[in-house]
A and B are shown apart, each in its own frame.
Chain A
Amino acid sequence: MITIRTVYFVVVLVVFLVALVGAAMYYLIRNRQRKMYPYGKWETLMRRLVAVDRENIVLVARDLVDENGERRFDEGELDLDPSQIWPLVGGIKGLEILERNCQVLVDLVFYAQQWYPEVLAVTEQLRQQAREIELHIQRIKSAEKQGQLESWYPNYAQRAVATYYVMTRRVLGLYEQLNLPGLAELQQSL
């Protein structure tokens, strides 16, 4: 005779098996894809790149650094009022998007290593810059927790944006210089 407990057992068993096989398949497919595409997949990389307001990024970054990423010491330096920087950056959410995009930028240069292994040096440089941005954002978050956001964000937010800007210029420059596939798509996205 089928009891209610037997029904529960069968239901739990089916859920258990589906979850078990599903989890195993998910990780096995991930493993397989990693073997098939050791440098990542271009489409996946592009999907991970979140759209940002490029004009705002340029405006905030070029207030601090020049096109080559060198600190500006001319008269035009720091034209922006600190109160303008936060909305232009998009607040903490905007900074977090930049942080995630930085990882994609690092992966984009890593992707180029399949044709030019010597690009490794650039990948490492970008990795350090991404870490720098991460630290700036961490400082801003701690300042926010301590209620001192206003005195900290203009400096660190602008530095983070400037570093991001330099990173995008470097990645675009590299793809252009080496005539790598996907340059046009990258120019539109960054």
Chain B
Amino acid sequence: MHLTGMMFFFWAAGLLGHCLLLVVLLLRGRARTFPIFTALIAGNIIKTLALYAIALHASKHTYLVVYFAFAILDFVLQLGVTFELARHLFCPTGTWAPDVRKGFMILAAASFLIALVLASLPVPPEKTLLGTLLDRGNLLSSALQCELFVGMIAFSTIARLPWKTHVARIAQGLGVYELIGILTEAGHNLTVRNSLSFQILTYVRMSAYLACVAYWIVMLWRDAPRPVELPEDVRKLFFTLKIKVEYDLRKLRAFK
């Protein structure tokens, strides 16, 4: 199995983009803040190299099986990144607000069900079991991620929680890419594998991903704007308020 000119370009550009992004994450200290996201990018580098070696030296079936295994890993890591972003957003002090956590769990369960229904609807024409599973799995993954991101936007608006710069940029990139992913994967589920339309959809998805990686490289290289320092009297006021709130909470809990 050999890579065509176009596929080789996407392969090389993807590898270069991921390597640059990993360097940015490590050099700028973002890996400490986003360990799962860093693992996803590192995983993608390993995947790209492994798949290239397999594409050159092994059969097409082996390639598909390994690709499938990496796709599962990718799916799990992407869910992990969503959870990581949600943790930054909804528990900035280290503790999840109970109502937000419950809501987020319900959202995750409902999103999974909706994505599952959506992914099980199309009947792909003339495809192998592995190919069908891959296309449906990709559609499920894109739909689920998009739903979770929209849910996170909704919860953060209701709870009035701000998106920190880097969290927002990672979410924006991933959200837009997954939105394009829904369309391309829906197309993949309706077209014959290796047909021209199938290839074009693959190129669109890959181009979107490359754009997304380029966006992350720039945004994660830049520093987030420095938060405005609180004046000393306001800081004291907040300290007193915190003690008062803790006292009130203890009183309220005693009513139970």
- Interface set of A (CB-CB < 8 Å, partner B): 3, 5-6, 8-9, 12-13, 16-17, 20-21, 23-24, 27-28, 30-31, 34
Assess whether A23 is in contact with B123, with CB atoms less than 8 Å apart. no
Q: Which of B121, B146, B150 contacts A5 (CB 8 A)?
A: B121
Mask of B151-186 contacts with A, CB within 8 angstroms, 1/0: 001101100100000000000000000010011001
- Interface majority SS (helix, strand, loop, mixed), chain B: helix
> Is A27 touching B154 in the complex (CB atoms < 8 A)?
yes
CB neighbours of A6 from chain B (8 A):
122-123, 190
Instruction: Determine the distance from Cα of A24 to Cα of B189 in the docked complex, in whole angstroms.
Output: 25
Contacts A16-B143, A20-B147 given: A3-B123 contact, CB under 8 Å? yes
Question: Is there a chain A Cβ closer than 8 Å to B69's Cβ?
Answer: no
- The closest CB in chain B to the CB of A29 belongs to B157
Residues of the A chain whose Cβ atoms lie less than 8 Å from the Cβ of B179: 20-21
Residues from chain A with Cβ under 8 Å of B157 in the complex: 27, 30-31, 34
B contacts, CB < 8 Å to A: 114, 117-118, 121-123, 143, 146-147, 149-150, 153-154, 156-157, 160, 179, 182-183, 186, 189-190
Chain A residue at minimum C-beta to C-beta distance from B186: A13
Contacts of A30 in B (CB 8 A): 157
Q: What's the Cα separation between A16 and B179 when bound, in Å?
A: 11
Chain B residues contacting A24 (CB-CB under 8 Å) are 149-150, 153
Q: Which residue of B lies closest to A17 (CB)?
A: B182
- Residues on A with C-beta less than 8 A from B114 are 16
Find the B residue at minimum CB distance from A5: B123
Residues of chain A within 8 A (CB-CB) of B149 are: 24
Complex Cα distance, B160 from A90, in Å, reads 35
Chain B positions within 8 Å of A34 at CB level: 157, 160
**Could you tell me if A5 and B122 are in contact, using CB atoms closer than 8 angstroms?**
yes
Contact of B121 among A12, A17, A21, A31 (CB under 8 A): A12
- Give min CB distance, B104 to chain A, whole Å: 15
A166 CB to nearest chain B CB (Å): 25
Pairs across A and B, CB under 8 Å, 12 listed: A5-B123, A6-B122, A6-B190, A9-B122, A9-B189, A12-B117, A16-B143, A17-B182, A20-B147, A21-B179, A27-B157, A30-B157
A17: chain B residues within 8 A (beta carbon) = 182-183
Nearest chain A CB to B101's CB is how many angstroms away? 19
Other A-B pairs, 15, CB within 8 Å; known A9-B122, A9-B186: A3-B123, A5-B122, A6-B123, A6-B190, A12-B118, A16-B143, A17-B183, A20-B150, A21-B179, A24-B149, A24-B150, A24-B153, A30-B157, A31-B157, A34-B157
Q: Least Cβ distance of B77 to chain A in Å?
A: 23
Known contacts being A13-B186, A31-B157, is A20 close to B121, with CB within 8 Å? no
Partner of B154, one of A3, A21, A23: A23
Residues of chain A within 8 A of B183, CB atoms compared:
17
Instruction: Report the bound CA distance from A27 to B118 in whole Å.
Output: 24
CA distance A23 to B123 in the complex (A): 28
A133, B157: Cα distance in complex, Å: 28
Of A3, A13, A21, A28, the contact of B118 (CB 8 Å cutoff): A13
Would you call A28 and B153 a contact (CB within 8 A)?
yes
Min CB gap A115→B, angstroms:
19
- A31→B154 CA distance, assembly (Å): 9
Closest Cβ of chain A to B247, distance in Å, is 17
Question: In the assembled complex, which residues on chain A have CB atoms less than 8 Å from the CB atom of B186?
Answer: 9, 13
Minimum CB–CB distance for A112 against chain B, Å = 20
Point out the residues of chain A lying under 8 angstroms from B156, CB to CB.
31
Residues of chain B within 8 A of A13, CB atoms compared: 118, 182, 186
In this complex, what residue of B is CB-closest to A19?
Answer: B150
- Shortest C-beta distance, A67 to chain B (Å), equals 34
